[in-house]
Structure 1
């Protein structure tokens, strides 16, 4: 059975920002260029080098100290700040409460002068809502192909030094969305209803428009809040990037036994085709050498270098 963290991460993929973190991470450890793998809880565990430093493609010294090749196309994009409303997923329904018929509809804990009141509910199954304080700051690096090429060059070293990647896959972070303060509520297999009041006077239907201040009703359970506590720190609520899945194929046999090996699936990602999303590498286990098929999955925005954007219009789902 999937954990609530994994359900949250998978359900939030409906939004165009990548992976959602059930426990938001600090921007001091999770940033564009970070490498790691996702756990069953939906959290990103970073790759840590022999010197106890985090592996980051933007830090050439962390790569060289751990036997990894340099990454020479690390181009940062401009920082982008935005305001957005609640992000909901699962079987949650949203309903606006008309306040002009009386303040008696406003639950305890929510000020009587709120600009808008919304109720969220479901009748069972999984549901979640994420609230973020404005502004939400987006940091990103350009490109996707260069990251796939680097992974192809270094997969054998990565599998040897960080064996958890064999089962978990490798994540290379290319974008983050972070805030100073966030609240989330997630639950499974139960009916639930709760209210949120917004100070903003104008909010849209669907996912709400920008609001800097919100209030939750007193006594409604399940809310978890996180706040940045250090200077120049924020909490990452979404991150985008590439996830490389490793699938063991056939054993590499001595040449005299080559014809007895079952066929290995052809790789699409070869030197002459860097835009394809599969390649082969070699992994060495206790029982010998194996061919491994690696497939790259993109989640979140993968932004081309300026001048190469084709049909890459950015949008927000306010």
Structure 2
């Protein structure tokens, strides 16, 4: 899908921003994992470039280890043991929830639900865009508890990275340090306030008030628009670090604008492509994705 829809999905899933960047199209874990360096293009498609978790940094594009002198060495931090939890539906902001009364099995069947469901909830967006994320299996949380080593490495190697991968000048660098992934993922995103999604649930006692961590959920077949990802482990959220770059220009002018502040910015220097070979600079800015991811971990028992 286009970048506009992907960005609208990310914005709409802001209630869950503690998990990091929300991916409208979940990315296979083999391509997006803690410690991989890459970028998101204008359509929000993920492009992995370097694997920093290997003993020798691995160039994914070329399929080979990089030459030792290309970048400074990187000592990968110790990762946290993966943990998993079952999630209920993750719904976009500004939506309404209405309990659907099921008087008989026929009511459930009419909604495309199994006759055995204990209850149903109808979701509807109050604005012109809405979305629901459902993971039928356990969501695995894994990654690194630290980010500074990755930022420090990018800072040292930005000039070399931009020389080898020019697209990073436009799109910036991302390094996921924490991911949330599942093997059975379903996403529904829609435009307009008329669209409604009905989900059935099964708990020990019926009623919305009893919906909790032990609840199992099902999608009504009458609710269209679902995208299903059932081909293996895919990342639905990731947090980590990002560095974006300004345009290169005369070193003196760029340094004058920088003035050494704030601390989340730094200068990148390179030789000009012009015949004069003058040194030019770019102002880079560091950003943290999912800055409060530790809050999400505690909230969900990780």
Alignment TM-score, normalising by the size of structure 2: 0.83
More helix by share: 2
**Cα separation, partners in 2 of 1:167 and 1:285, compared to 1, 3 Å:** farther
In the alignment, the residues of structure 2 paired with residue 289 and residue 283 of structure 1 have an alpha-carbon distance, to the nearest angstrom, of 6
Match runs of 1:147-158 below 5 Å:
147-158=150-161
Please list every run of 5 or more consecutive structure 2 residues that lacks an aligned counterpart in the other structure. Answer: 59-64
After TM superposition, give the deviation of residue 81 of structure 1 in Å. Answer: 0.9
**Cα separation, partners in 2 of 1:35 and 1:200, compared to 1, 3 Å:** farther
Calculate the aligned-residue CA RMSD, in Å. 3.0
Matched, 1:245 2:244: yes
Alignment TM-score, normalising by the size of structure 1: 0.79
**Cα separation, partners in 2 of 1:221 and 1:278, compared to 1, 3 Å:** same
1:197-229 per-residue CA deviation (whole Å, 9 max, x = no partner) reads 1233468969x6335743222232210100134
Which residue, 23, 32, 35 being the options, matches 2:34? 32
After TM superposition, give the deviation of residue 98 of structure 1 in Å. Answer: 3.6
After TM superposition, give the deviation of residue 90 of structure 1 in Å. Answer: 4.1
In the alignment, the residues of structure 2 paired with residue 82 and residue 301 of structure 1 have an alpha-carbon distance, to the nearest angstrom, of 21
> How many residues of Structure 1 are paired with residues of Structure 2 in the alignment?
286
More strand by share: 2
In the alignment, the residues of structure 1 paired with residue 272 and residue 201 of structure 2 have an alpha-carbon distance, to the nearest angstrom, of 56
In the alignment, the residues of structure 1 paired with residue 214 and residue 5 of structure 2 have an alpha-carbon distance, to the nearest angstrom, of 27
Matched, 1:227 2:217: no
1:67-115 per-residue CA deviation (whole Å, 9 max, x = no partner) reads 122221421011111121111114432222243x444543342012212
Match runs of 1:28-177 below 5 Å:
28-47=30-49, 55-63=50-58, 65=66, 67-99=70-102, 101-106=103-108, 107-177=110-180
CA contact (8 A) 1:77 1:140 kept: yes
